[in-house]
Structure 1
């Protein structure tokens, strides 16, 4: 019997500390990417052809995802019907049980849907903690999940003033990475939303007499330049520490020169989380009901 190919949008999360990033790496590399483990889990589904995860949003070494997405095509042999969405999620998670990776959802989509190019926006959250005299002050369940700064608490008003200068459409050449793989990529990006707010750490209500304060910087755009979010976060934190003036953001945007980016300012990878990827509901609607396995 002829096999039937089915395309799915897969939503998944991971702690990025032990991976080289989300993208696939050569199998002989000491540290692999999240994609390597996802595709290894899919192998155990016994597809007719190997399953490739087409990732929507690249994250680098040490960066986490509350929800990243990818699309996959699965063909089953022997004329078997497509996996139901719920069974696919359960099977992939069963095969990923030894990794800090979890499939959140699967959804049947049309054969023309593309996880990367169909995305309307991406939202990242950057987490910062202040009030630490040394990194060991951080609770163990927060380690590798936020940027530990040691210059006192942040000036929220100054940061919000600086953030307002980043919102909108700008040439972000100064905020592109010097090691960018795509130097010719258009540096003009639109920041749709940028919010800075005090936050609470994981389970911090159980920690008594703590001087720790947590902060979240949330960025939304259709797309970002390589390491742009970490570079914007670093500048905003420097403003909050009074190392930079809020108006310096406008100067950095106007100069359009990556070499003008303040040295030793980029935020470390550990505090960055991909929060979600948004799609138009019409692009996700295939008009099909969930298939039976």
Structure 2
């Protein structure tokens, strides 16, 4: 059976997350239903696997999944046909590629990249409603960067992972945690970019929620180091809501998709 990699973009708002569920809409279930209409093999209950199982409300601009199909599709025609059958769901197949049989969207990945958007302004969000976390107070960028510096490298991230996390170990290596600030009409937008081989459940949202407390002046930057060293979930700051989080990319030794799409 030919294996195809899919580059997927979606608005996570209407879904209960990536993972298929019996009684709630999911991104995985929606894509699988579209595949079943195209390829008879999928009607028999075949599944697709993704690089990251995003939570309810989390978005993606660079999710990667793989599927084993019966028909050996032309990749461009496969992506076009899937996009037709995905309407009107807010999911788009940005690209499809034929990959080796041993390619696995999750286990072949050596890097995941996330973006978190936080907007600080008094007026309600309109165009970015559901696409960013809003606070009403301006944040101190320098303080947040100082707090973030304590989290780079390899650590026990017990403090910053959900109690429901199923990872075997709380130790992860955070390769990048960058924060940028930009002016928007009557406010500021803060963009947090995080990169690691893999992340714990709720790790990104826990980190951003904690750094927001630093930016707001409620925590000194050094308290982030103390929270990390505590290895105690109770030492974490508030976990921020999901709507500002995006899975933006997945890295592979041999990239399955061409740079020009």
TM interval, short-chain normalised: over 0.9
**Do the aligned partners of residues 49 and 33 (structure 1) sit closer, same or farther apart at CA in structure 2, a change above 3 Å counting?**
closer
What is the alpha-carbon distance in structure 1 between the residues aligned to residue 111 and residue 68 of structure 2? 23
Could you say what secondary structure the match of 2:25 adopts?
A: coil
How far has the Cα of 1:234 moved from its partner?
Answer: 0.5
Instruction: Tell me the residue number matched to 2:129.
Output: 143
Offset at residue 211 of structure 1 (A): 1.5
Contact preservation (8 Å) 2:36, 2:42: no
1:85 to 44, 55, 75: 75
Gaps of 5+ in 2: none
Give the equivalent residue in structure 2 for 1:71. Answer: 66
Once the two structures are TM-superposed, the CA of residue 49 in structure 1 deviates from its matched residue by 4.5
Q: 1:104 to 1:147 in 2, by over 3 A?
A: same
Counterpart CA distance in 1 for 2:175 and 2:96 is: 27
Aligned-partner SS, 2:41: coil
Structure of larger gyration radius: 1
CA distance, structure 2, for counterparts of residue 226 and residue 198 of structure 1: 26
1:23 aligns with 2:8: no
1:98 aligned to 2:85? Answer: no
Q: CA RMSD in A?
A: 1.5
**Separation of aligned partners in 1, 2:20 and 2:42:** 18
Q: Which among 6, 12, 16 is matched to residue 10 of structure 1? A: 6
CA drift of 1:212 comes to 1.6
| CA–CA distance in structure 2, aligned partners of residues 60 and 214 of structure 1 | 23
CA distance in 1, matches of 2:182, 2:248: 15
> What residue number does 1:160 align with?
145
Native 8 Å contact 2:35 2:42 kept in 1: no
SS at match of 2:38: coil
Gaps of 5+ in 1: 77-81, 205-209, 286-293
Q: Distance in 2 between matches of 1:53 and 1:91?
A: 17
Contact 1:110 1:284 in 2 (8 A): no
Question: Aligned residue pairs: how many?
Answer: 255
3-state DSSP class of the match of 1:232?
A: helix
Any idea what the Cα deviations from partners look like across 1:152-194, whole Å, max 9, x if unmatched? 21100011111111110000001111233x1x62000000011
Q: Distance in 1 between matches of 2:177 and 2:125?
A: 28
Give the whole-Å Cα distance in 1 for the aligned partners of 2:142 and 2:94.
36
